[in-house]
Structure 1
Amino acid sequence: MFSNSKLASLWLAIMLILVAALGYQLTARKQLPIETNILALLPENRQDPIAQQAFDHIATSMSDKVVFVVGSKDSDTMLKAAKDFSQALPSLDMFSHIDAEVSQDQQQAWAKLYYPKRFQLLTPEQQNRLQHHPEQQTQNVIHTLYNPFSGITGTELKNDPFLLFREYLADLTAKTGKFSLKQGFLTTEYQDKHYALITANLKGSAYNIGLQDKLPALTSLEQQIESKYSLTDSPLAIEQTGVIFYAAHGTQSAENEISTIGLGSLLGIVILLIAVYRSTLPLALALLSISCGLVAAFVTTVAIFGKVHLFSLVFGASLIGVSIDYAFHYLTDRLAAGKHWNAQQGLKHIFTAITLGLITSLIGYLGMLVAPFPGLQQLSLFSAIGLTAAYATVVCWYPTLAAKPSKPRAIPFAGTLGRWLHLWLQPSIRWVTPILLALLSIYGLTKATYNDDIRQLQALPASLQHQEATIKAITGVSSSQQMFLVKADSQQALLNKIAATDHALDGLIKQGALKSYQSLGQYIPTLEQQRANFELVQQLYKEQGTTLSQSLNLAQPVSFTATFEPLTMAHFLASPISAPLRFMWLDALKDKNGVSKYSAVILLHDIKQQNAIEQLTHNDSELTYLNKADEISALFGQYREHVTWLLIAATFAIYLLLAWRYGLKQGVKMIAPSLIAGMAGIAITSLTGTPLNLFNLLALILILGIGIDYSLFFAELKAETAHQQGITTLLAITLSALTTVLSFGLLALSETQAIHSFGITVLTGIIIAWLLAPLAMSKVKPSQQHQ
């Protein structure tokens, strides 16, 4: 057995190593090891690695883009502002690439790629026309040629006498959006205003805090341009959307909540400590416990996970109110002992209770490690390590640092605390209060509703949502991440599968189940379709060539001399026109068996009938519907059920531990406050109209652990000194409850729905657990109450 000095030295060495590790973690990288990406909290798709890779690829591609629209009622003003704004953007050092003015080469890229293959490229309408009524194509040429605004040149008529490519290219470019070129900019009109589209790629991840810090400069630039080009009757507006704006808001919200919760807790603790102990030593010791807990938790989490998520830090900040519990009991005993204080005896007096308290808390927290959910695993580890370090600080250092007795003085509020304990010795109070609270809680539970939507994890400000909706209405560009993952054994087989899926989606659009989609099949026909098109065009020239030549009095007769050369995916990907679309081609990815599958995605926009979309994937292993938000929301529901069983198992395990030490009947008295407190927390959350989710169950684990702590100290009271010890214990528990309410209760102020709901549950549960904790106190005889 280590002596206290050896334990103190060992813990000092461990903490020095942890502090050195913290310094290394904070300085070794260019960025702080803090993760702000909400997706990092989510589990991977273990059943289908290709689906996970596809989603990661698409999420990264989309999240690193920013879309701007510059709008004004005056077209010339809009174009001048767009030019000025796009030329100023590089000065912000935020973007690796900016797409604003379309160069001459870019404008010609469509024709450069498709024109050499024009004899094998047809729209569905052209295919139908050439197959059934080829003479109509001849009539179309004649009508178009005599239209004074057609702009047909002799060269075009010579190289494409049936004007098939002109029609095909018009149809193809229409699929890229509702924009037209004006002075090099992609422009459109919406609600009597002219808009120019500007897109940009970030220099790094949207979750890079360094890039987020540059957003105020971007806002300032936008305001300058708006001010410069706004007219009295035509204000200029620059709208923007992109993941970085949501990420920055999330980062700022988390930082504000950490500050509010952390600083609020610390301020409350400082005031409580000074008011109760009237000394700087208890304050210093309490802050020491908190610091050791947070340092150990941060360093260990970074060492295992690589980064600490801001979400974990928000909860971690609230650990302040829990980690200080052990300190309160030790310091309150020291205050009560006065000049008779013995540091080792003081530790021995509370050792069993704080050790059992730590064990019961760890049972709840560590149980979450088994869930393949990175967010829960990290939160579990952070909490468990933080509490263990705070416990170790009390056990190893307090007997040395607090060896000197405190100045003799009366226990604060001793009279009030004594009367409160005496009240709880009355049978009517001991029976009626818990039964009444349990019945009211059961009523509240009947009003419970559940909402497992993953979007509750992120607060979405209305201003950003409004801008995104506005840009979607103006441009038709959507940030939806609902998609089909298409797989096949070869590139050509993949294109065939994409074409078949596109055909099915066209049918769903006609049925009103889907508004639109974006697919590589819209830009690259299959090899079979190209051959069929080529044969149709060849047949058209054979059947209608002479007729067209005579109708137009052509000097040279129409003849077909082309050879078939397929347009391949390699050709498309090498062309500049594929730049905005390349992310949809995933090439070869390995499945869970290590077999390579060629893969691509089809983006789906404005799904109206989810069942119709999902129906396409039934019994088709090569087609998978991906909707990460719905997938994770479903997982949230599953984990909520799993955590429910985990909570039941943890409660039973804790009861067995209590029954083993204290007996079956006393074990019930000790666990009842936590059970009723948990029910009350859920009931009040439900009655406030807040839907329940996984995090409310995590709150129950916390309530269970803390509530058992309260009961343990009352159960450890000795009959011969029950009254005096009871006052000391109640004071320590009250201080503990107040700090916990301060820390976790402040979570109820969070803008994030999940955290807000968690805070309400914990706030209610801790108050009820404190209220009912004296149930665990053995009923002493009146003569013993004043010994």
Structure 2
Amino acid sequence: MFSNSKLASLWLAIILILVAALGYQLTARKQLPIETNILALLPENRQDPIAQQAFDHIATSMSDKVVFVVGSKNSDTMLKAANDFSQALPSLKLFSHIDAKVSQDQQQAWAKLYYPKRFQLLTPEQQTRLREHPEQQTQNVLNAMYNPFSGITGTELTNDPFLLFREYLTDLTAKAGKFSLKQGFLTTEYQGKHYALITANLAGSAYNIGLQDKLPDLHALEQQVESKYSLADSALVIQQTGVIFYAAHGTKSAENEISTIGLGSLLGIIILLIAVYRSTLPLALALLSITCGLVAAFVATVAIFGKVHLFSLVFGASLIGVSIDYAFHYLTDRLAAGKHWDSQQGLKHIFTAITLGLITSLIGYLGMLVAPFPGLQQLSLFSAIGLTAAYATVVCWYPTLAAKPSPPRSTPFASILGRWLHIWQQPSVRWVTPILLALLALYGLTKASYNDDIRQLQALPASLQQQEATIKAITGVSSSQQMLLVKADSEQALLNKIASTDHTLDGLIQQGALKSYQSLGQYIPTLDQQKANFALVQQLYQEQGATLSQHLNLAKPVTFSATFEPLTMTHFLASSVSSPLRFMWLGALKDQHGVSKYSAVILLHDIKQQHTIEKLAQHDNTLTYLNKADEISSLFGQYREHVTWLLIAATFAIYLLLAWRYGIKRGVKMIAPSLIAGMAGIAITSLTGTPLNLFNLLALILILGIGIDYSLFFAELKPETGHQQGITTLLAITLSALTTVLSFGLLALSETQAIHSFGITVLTGIIIAWLLAPLAMTRVKAPQTHK
């Protein structure tokens, strides 16, 4: 039944369809269907869709920006370099918009927006002064008039005799940053150096691989400008920060790891196949299984998810080491049979074991579907589909493709393998070895500690982090994505709520809970506040107008004739002043009940007491504290606990399957190696000082599934099959373990801590599972000696 040509033809047709689909997927789009955005790994907040939309909006706004600082001890050198650098940036085709020099229109934008509404705009200090001591404002004007550096003009005095707008605009622009204008550039000083600020918007997503490929040209331009303007006594430095630099590093790192893991595994497999089989046919068949598995996995994943995440591919590359297992068992049987080989009987001999092995491995892989992370779900399906395709290739094609017997030759390493089997026949070894390993593993488990921080998913190079910290210190610009989401039923109600929240945050700053924040309320007063300000200014003119006219000997007395016209959010958003701030206004968004809520965010910088911010949001249903990293880290912890129970359930399910076929006692012997291997994997990972997380538990599921695979083949040995069959089985399992170690073990080389930790756990677990697998065998007859 296994040689059915129709089955082989059907699988051929499926593979041809998959190859055609792969070609379409790779050529139908301008870009490869590969996702590099780390945020794509994370689950959406389905409980609060407004919070999810807010985070996505802010993350996109921030990720598409790049900040440069050009610095030198010499101010003139800095300005010349900044000018050359900013003029050369457009040639890179990397940015859609570059903000370097501030135009005259931009410089006047603040006044154009706020000046017509000047009679209703006051700082908190001005409000207190006009309310309690309005005569102080008159005195302030007199003091400024006698100051030769005040720069007061007759026109300004005529239009704003109490100089209220001058004070307000100075306070407002101070909130926008600590920069001053020099030759059109925003400049500042820091630690004895002069710096110019240049910002740019990317011409696409920071995760666009095409844009990332242009970064070497950017670095070359920076080095060229630095070299040109660095003097003997002063070096010019250009520093940059932005999500694209981290994303490019992550992409490059993932590509390198895929190459290391995938090509390393492939090279190891080729060497093993040539060393053991000394024939090109086994090599071709093994590569065929791997190729079919990877093609099926890639095509199906793209069809289901639209893209394959690089994170999934890093893990998926290790599929090579698992998908080859079935081929090894078949080819090793062929090698041992020599001229007596029957391809149909060969498949029948291993069919039960590889089928049960596939089922137990799928239990392990598909267990990852319980985690709400798209990346893990991709990995789960990628591996499960790839493994199934590799299995189908062996079952459908190998009996035909490997029908010819192998050239007669002795089983490689038969002497060593035979001695190893003999050792495992000794009762002392069968009892002492697993007990000793279990005790050592239990000791290691006492040293275990967990770290569920989502940041472990991303390797952050120290050089980029240092540049980001330096730019933050120089400019005050922060990429923090900690924020308060503010919601209300109307636009005006939202502005009122923002204002009251700002007042609360001011108090928290005084308490030391927060360093600073950025809010639209700092730029747009509420309607009630504007009316109150207007009344205060009107009262000031009425009470102090005559006095001011008398002291200044004005020909025309100071009078108040303005009418109230509110400054609205529409006015603000239409002005170029709001360009760097618009992303904080979200407008009307629908909540989980479909009700529209006007929403905005307040950015929080350098939170010192996070519990205080969390408490503020918990006691107000119009506020939501958004901290995506902490939110996902918390989910990591929760699902780590869930996966623990899943692991227990999977172990019990597999044991029931084994006990049903092999009996209760044999079932224990078969599952014990995987349990001890899992404990040992966790123990060794802990003893290396690597914190444990969700991925280590997922590693245990894989160890369970793969380790059971090894035990199954020993369990399928019958005493009457003889010593030689035991050697053949041990050879196949050893080859399988070596390729799995090559695949998963190489993950321990990853720069990403979560992947590194996963790799160590699987590497250790698979070695222990292989070591203890002979526990599952019954007595194997030793070869008879004939005199």
The TM-score with structure 2 as length reference comes to: 0.99
User: Which residue of 2 is the match for residue 510 of structure 1?
Assistant: 510
Secondary structure in 2 aligned to 1:291?
A: helix
User: What is the rounded CA distance, in whole Å, between the counterparts of 1:605 and 1:396 in structure 2?
Assistant: 61
User: Which residue of 2 is the match for residue 89 of structure 1?
Assistant: 89
1:552-595 Cα distance to aligned partner (Å, 9 max, x none): 11111110000110000000000001000000000011111111
User: What is the rounded CA distance, in whole Å, between the counterparts of 1:146 and 1:180 in structure 2?
Assistant: 25
User: What is the rounded CA distance, in whole Å, between the counterparts of 2:430 and 2:605 in structure 1?
Assistant: 61
Matched, 1:297 2:297: yes
Secondary structure in 2 aligned to 1:565?
A: coil
Secondary structure in 2 aligned to 1:638?
A: helix
User: What is the rounded CA distance, in whole Å, between the counterparts of 2:785 and 2:758 in structure 1?
Assistant: 39
Offset of residue 372 of structure 1 = 2.4
Matched, 1:35 2:43: no
AA at the equivalent of 1:642: H
User: What is the rounded CA distance, in whole Å, between the counterparts of 1:274 and 1:261 in structure 2?
Assistant: 20
User: What is the rounded CA distance, in whole Å, between the counterparts of 1:726 and 1:545 in structure 2?
Assistant: 107
Secondary structure in 2 aligned to 1:395?
A: helix
1:117-152 Cα distance to aligned partner (Å, 9 max, x none): 000000000001111111100000000111000000
User: Which residue of 2 is the match for residue 681 of structure 1?
Assistant: 681
Offset of residue 782 of structure 1 = 5.7
Task: Check whether the contact 1:723–1:784 (CA below 8 A) recurs between aligned residues.
Answer: no
User: Which residue of 2 is the match for residue 372 of structure 1?
Assistant: 372
Offset of residue 718 of structure 1 = 1.4
Offset of residue 46 of structure 1 = 1.0
Task: Check whether the contact 1:721–1:784 (CA below 8 A) recurs between aligned residues.
Answer: no
AA at the equivalent of 2:127: Q
Offset of residue 370 of structure 1 = 3.3
User: Which residue of 2 is the match for residue 539 of structure 1?
Assistant: 539
- Over 3 Å counting, the alpha-carbon distance change for 1:785 and 1:382 in structure 2 is farther
User: Which residue of 2 is the match for residue 476 of structure 1?
Assistant: 476
User: Which residue of 2 is the match for residue 708 of structure 1?
Assistant: 708
1:253-292 Cα distance to aligned partner (Å, 9 max, x none): 0000001111111111000000000000000000111111
User: What is the rounded CA distance, in whole Å, between the counterparts of 1:146 and 1:784 in structure 2?
Assistant: 118
What is the aligned residue count?
Answer: 787
1:553-592 aligned within 5 A: 553-592=553-592
User: What is the rounded CA distance, in whole Å, between the counterparts of 2:249 and 2:104 in structure 1?
Assistant: 39
User: What is the rounded CA distance, in whole Å, between the counterparts of 1:395 and 1:2 in structure 2?
Assistant: 7
User: What is the rounded CA distance, in whole Å, between the counterparts of 2:783 and 2:467 in structure 1?
Assistant: 73
User: Which residue of 2 is the match for residue 462 of structure 1?
Assistant: 462
1:310-358 Cα distance to aligned partner (Å, 9 max, x none): 0111011111100000000000000000000000100000000000000
User: What is the rounded CA distance, in whole Å, between the counterparts of 1:715 and 1:2 in structure 2?
Assistant: 23
Task: Check whether the contact 2:720–2:781 (CA below 8 A) recurs between aligned residues.
Answer: no
The TM-score with structure 1 as length reference comes to: 0.99
User: Which residue of 2 is the match for residue 645 of structure 1?
Assistant: 645
1:38-57 aligned within 5 A: 38-57=38-57
1:188-337 aligned within 5 A: 188-337=188-337
Secondary structure in 1 aligned to 2:486?
A: strand
Matched, 1:754 2:754: yes
Task: Check whether the contact 1:722–1:785 (CA below 8 A) recurs between aligned residues.
Answer: no
Offset of residue 367 of structure 1 = 2.5
Task: Check whether the contact 2:485–2:625 (CA below 8 A) recurs between aligned residues.
Answer: yes
- Over 3 Å counting, the alpha-carbon distance change for 1:338 and 1:781 in structure 2 is closer
AA at the equivalent of 1:117: K
- Over 3 Å counting, the alpha-carbon distance change for 1:417 and 1:526 in structure 2 is same
User: Which residue of 1 is the match for residue 725 of structure 2?
Assistant: 725
Task: Check whether the contact 1:457–1:753 (CA below 8 A) recurs between aligned residues.
Answer: yes
AA at the equivalent of 2:361: S
AA at the equivalent of 1:768: I
User: What is the rounded CA distance, in whole Å, between the counterparts of 2:3 and 2:270 in structure 1?
Assistant: 32
User: What is the rounded CA distance, in whole Å, between the counterparts of 2:313 and 2:574 in structure 1?
Assistant: 45
Matched, 1:347 2:347: yes
Offset of residue 723 of structure 1 = 1.5
Task: Check whether the contact 1:720–1:784 (CA below 8 A) recurs between aligned residues.
Answer: no
1:285-314 Cα distance to aligned partner (Å, 9 max, x none): 001111111110000000000000001110
User: What is the rounded CA distance, in whole Å, between the counterparts of 1:271 and 1:115 in structure 2?
Assistant: 78
Task: Check whether the contact 1:301–1:307 (CA below 8 A) recurs between aligned residues.
Answer: yes
User: Which residue of 2 is the match for residue 498 of structure 1?
Assistant: 498
User: What is the rounded CA distance, in whole Å, between the counterparts of 1:2 and 1:557 in structure 2?
Assistant: 107
User: Which residue of 1 is the match for residue 435 of structure 2?
Assistant: 435
Task: Check whether the contact 1:722–1:784 (CA below 8 A) recurs between aligned residues.
Answer: no
User: What is the rounded CA distance, in whole Å, between the counterparts of 1:784 and 1:659 in structure 2?
Assistant: 33
Matched, 1:161 2:161: yes
Task: Check whether the contact 1:723–1:785 (CA below 8 A) recurs between aligned residues.
Answer: no
Offset of residue 780 of structure 1 = 4.2
Task: Check whether the contact 1:64–1:204 (CA below 8 A) recurs between aligned residues.
Answer: yes
User: Which residue of 1 is the match for residue 132 of structure 2?
Assistant: 132
Matched, 1:552 2:529: no
User: What is the rounded CA distance, in whole Å, between the counterparts of 1:74 and 1:464 in structure 2?
Assistant: 25
Secondary structure in 1 aligned to 2:317?
A: helix
Secondary structure in 2 aligned to 1:617?
A: helix
User: Which residue of 2 is the match for residue 657 of structure 1?
Assistant: 657
User: Which residue of 2 is the match for residue 692 of structure 1?
Assistant: 692
Task: Check whether the contact 2:723–2:781 (CA below 8 A) recurs between aligned residues.
Answer: no
Cα RMSD of the aligned pairs, angstroms, is 1.2
User: What is the rounded CA distance, in whole Å, between the counterparts of 1:269 and 1:682 in structure 2?
Assistant: 27
Task: Check whether the contact 1:357–1:709 (CA below 8 A) recurs between aligned residues.
Answer: yes
Name whichever of 370-379 and 474-483 sits farther off.
370-379
1:69-148 aligned within 5 A: 69-148=69-148
Offset of residue 691 of structure 1 = 0.4
- Over 3 Å counting, the alpha-carbon distance change for 1:142 and 1:346 in structure 2 is same
User: Which residue of 1 is the match for residue 451 of structure 2?
Assistant: 451
User: What is the rounded CA distance, in whole Å, between the counterparts of 1:29 and 1:417 in structure 2?
Assistant: 52
User: What is the rounded CA distance, in whole Å, between the counterparts of 1:279 and 1:375 in structure 2?
Assistant: 39
Secondary structure in 2 aligned to 1:616?
A: helix
**Percent of pairs with identical residues:** 89
